[in-house]
Amino acid sequence: MNIDPQNKRREDAPMPVLEAVKALGEGFATTLKHLFRRPITEEYPEEQRPLPARSRGRIVLTRDPDGEERCVACYLCSAVCPVSCISMQSAEREDGKRYARWFRINFSRCIYCGLCEEACPTCAIQLTPQFDHCKRDILDMVYEKEDLLVDHCGKNADYNFYRHAGILTRAHAKGAHPDEEAPVDVRTNLP
């Protein structure tokens, strides 16, 4: 026997008839009023609503402001991914810098949680607002590096990890790579 706290009345007790008729009438009037409103439906494929930049859709691998691949194949995204849908193979370039030889995301498993983006130290892997990538064949949902790598920086357009951290390889010391500036001295950032 539930007591409705607002009305101090047993919920299953019959309503006074007048009250009930009034409540019904209000309901019918409301729907009738709606009949004369313009529909607010968005017709999706034709009308696409711009989504917030941070909405979590299809994943891309972004590049540095210099046009270099950001990903250093550190496996952090792969490790953090709760459904293990990221796999890759790390490799080293001539100048000693690491990169992913191949990089694969199985979107049919991805749950778009965004943890990979959180984990990535270089802002390489990013989720984009594009949510409508569906395929007839489930194997087409497996994206290779060619499909993932884009030629822009995504969010954080001017962020360049190596300017801050420098590049330390077997071939060169930090700041000693050709065209490389010395890394930011973190102590100068202290107050």
Question: Does residue 27 sit in helix, strand or coil?
Answer: helix
Is residue 43 part of the contact set for other proteins (CB under 8 A)? Answer: yes
Interacting span for other proteins (CB under 8 A) from 29-37, 111-119, 125-133, 148-156: 29-37
Which amino acid, residue 65?
P
- φ, ψ of residue 49 in degrees (nearest 5): -80, 130
Interacting span for ligand SF4 (CB under 6 A) from 32-40, 107-115, 147-155, 179-187: 107-115
Tell which phi-psi region holds residue 68, choosing left (phi > 0), alpha (psi between -120 and 50) or beta. Answer: beta
Is residue 34 part of the contact set for other proteins (CB under 8 A)? Answer: yes
Task: Looking at 61-155, list the stretches that DSSP marks H as alpha helix, in order from N- to C-terminal side.
Answer: 76-80, 115-119, 145-148
Member of 73, 148, 149, 167 binding ligand SF4 (CB under 6 A)? 73
Is residue 41 part of the contact set for other proteins (CB under 8 A)? Answer: yes
CA pair distance 70, 162, nearest whole angstrom = 9
* Contact positions vs ligand SF4 (CB under 6 A): 59, 71-77, 80-83, 85-86, 105, 110-116, 119-120, 122, 124-125
